A and B are shown apart, each in its own frame.
Chain A
Amino acid sequence: MKRIYIKEQACIACHLCEVHCQRQHSQSKDFIKAFKRESPRPLPRVRVEEKGALSFSVRCQQCEDAPCAQACLTGAITRDPISGAVTVDEEKCVGCWTCLLVCPFAAIRQDAEQGKTVRCDLCQGADMPVCVVNCPNEALIYTEVDI
Chain B
Amino acid sequence: MAKAERTKYLIIGNSAGGIGAAEAIRQVDEVGTMTIVSDEPYPAYSRPLISEYLAEKRPLERMLFRPSDFYEKHNIQAILGRKAEQLNSDEHTIKLDDGRKIIWERLLLATGGVPIVPGIEGIGLKGVFTFTKLDDAKAIDEFLNQHQARKVRGVVIGGGLIGVSVTEALRKREIDITIVEMRERLLNTILDEETSALEAETLRRGGVEIITGHTVAKVSSYLDGEASGVTLDDGRSLPCEMVIVAIGVRPRTEFVSDTKIKVNRGIMVDRYMATSSPDVYACGDVAEAYDFVYGENRLTPIWPNAYIGGRVAGFNMAAIPTEYRGGTAMNSLKYFGLDVVSAGMVMPPDASYEVIRAKYGQACKKVILKDGLIMGMVFSGDIEKSGIVYNLMKDRVKVGAFQQALVAEDFGLVSLPEEIWRPHLEIPSAIADTSVISMEQAEEVIAGE
Give A residues with C-beta under 8 Å from B.
5-10, 12, 47, 49-51, 53-56, 58, 61, 70-75, 91-92, 94-98, 100-106, 108-110, 137-139, 141, 143, 145, 147
Contact A102 B438 (CB under 8 A): no
CB within 8 Å: A-B pair count: 140
Q: Which residues from A are CB-within-8-Å of B277?
A: none
- Asked if B353 is at the interface (CB within 8 A of a chain A CB), the reply is no
Nearest-CB residue, chain B, relative to A96: B332
B425 is contacted by which of A5, A73, A96 (Cβ under 8 Å)?
A5
Contact A96 B334 (CB under 8 A): yes
In the complex, A105 Cα to B420 Cα: how many Å? Answer: 10
If A71-B304, A97-B334, A103-B387 touch, whether A141 touches B438 (CB-CB below 8 Å) is: no
The smallest C-beta distance from A13 to any residue of chain B, in angstroms, reads 10
Contacts A96-B332, A101-B341, A141-B433 supplied; 20 other A-B pairs, CB < 8 Å: A6-B426, A12-B439, A12-B442, A49-B413, A51-B415, A53-B439, A58-B425, A70-B311, A95-B334, A96-B48, A97-B339, A97-B341, A98-B304, A100-B332, A101-B330, A101-B332, A104-B391, A138-B433, A145-B428, A145-B431
In the complex, A4 Cα to B341 Cα: how many Å? Answer: 29
In the complex, A54 Cα to B438 Cα: how many Å? Answer: 11
In the complex, A98 Cα to B385 Cα: how many Å? Answer: 12
Nearest-CB residue, chain B, relative to A92: B62
**What are 14 A-B interface contacts by the 8 Å CB criterion?**
A5-B427, A47-B412, A49-B414, A73-B49, A74-B65, A75-B64, A97-B332, A98-B332, A100-B332, A101-B330, A105-B413, A137-B437, A138-B436, A141-B432
In the complex, A49 Cα to B437 Cα: how many Å? Answer: 20
The smallest C-beta distance from B68 to any residue of chain A, in angstroms, reads 12
Contact B387 A106 (CB under 8 A): yes
In the complex, A72 Cα to B332 Cα: how many Å? Answer: 11
B437 is contacted by which of A10, A141, A147 (Cβ under 8 Å)?
A10
Q: Which residues from A are CB-within-8-Å of B303?
A: 71, 73, 98
Nearest-CB residue, chain A, relative to B307: A70
Q: Which residues from B are CB-within-8-Å of A137?
A: 436-437
If A61-B424, A71-B304, A145-B428 touch, whether A106 touches B388 (CB-CB below 8 Å) is: yes
- Asked if B66 is at the interface (CB within 8 A of a chain A CB), the reply is yes
Nearest-CB residue, chain B, relative to A63: B424
The smallest C-beta distance from B241 to any residue of chain A, in angstroms, reads 29
In the complex, A39 Cα to B431 Cα: how many Å? Answer: 42
The smallest C-beta distance from B42 to any residue of chain A, in angstroms, reads 14
The smallest C-beta distance from B138 to any residue of chain A, in angstroms, reads 19
Contact A105 B388 (CB under 8 A): yes
Mask, B402-433, CB within 8 Å of A = 1, is: 00000000001111000001101111100111
Contact A75 B66 (CB under 8 A): yes
Contact B341 A74 (CB under 8 A): no
Contact A143 B387 (CB under 8 A): no
User: Which residues, 14 to 52 on B, are CB-close (under 8 Å) to A?
Assistant: 20, 46, 48-49, 52
Question: Nearest 8 pairs between A and B by C-beta?
Answer: A5-B427, A71-B304, A103-B387, A9-B438, A104-B391, A49-B414, A75-B65, A97-B332
The smallest C-beta distance from B13 to any residue of chain A, in angstroms, reads 16
Contact B386 A101 (CB under 8 A): yes
Nearest-CB residue, chain A, relative to B420: A104
Contact A7 B426 (CB under 8 A): yes
Q: Which residues from A are CB-within-8-Å of B307?
A: 70-71
Contact B388 A56 (CB under 8 A): no
Nearest-CB residue, chain B, relative to A104: B391
Q: Which residues from A are CB-within-8-Å of B436?
A: 7, 9-10, 137-139
- Asked if B384 is at the interface (CB within 8 A of a chain A CB), the reply is yes
The smallest C-beta distance from A124 to any residue of chain B, in angstroms, reads 21
Nearest-CB residue, chain A, relative to B379: A101
Contact B415 A102 (CB under 8 A): no
In the complex, A110 Cα to B340 Cα: how many Å? Answer: 13
- Asked if B60 is at the interface (CB within 8 A of a chain A CB), the reply is no
- Between A94, A95, A110, the greatest number of chain B beta carbons within 10 A of the residue's beta carbon is seen for A94
B426 is contacted by which of A8, A50, A73, A143 (Cβ under 8 Å)?
A8
Contact B424 A106 (CB under 8 A): no
Contact B428 A109 (CB under 8 A): no
Contact B48 A74 (CB under 8 A): yes
The smallest C-beta distance from B338 to any residue of chain A, in angstroms, reads 12
Q: Which residues from B are CB-within-8-Å of A105?
A: 387-388, 413, 421, 424-425
B413 is contacted by which of A101, A106, A145 (Cβ under 8 Å)?
A106
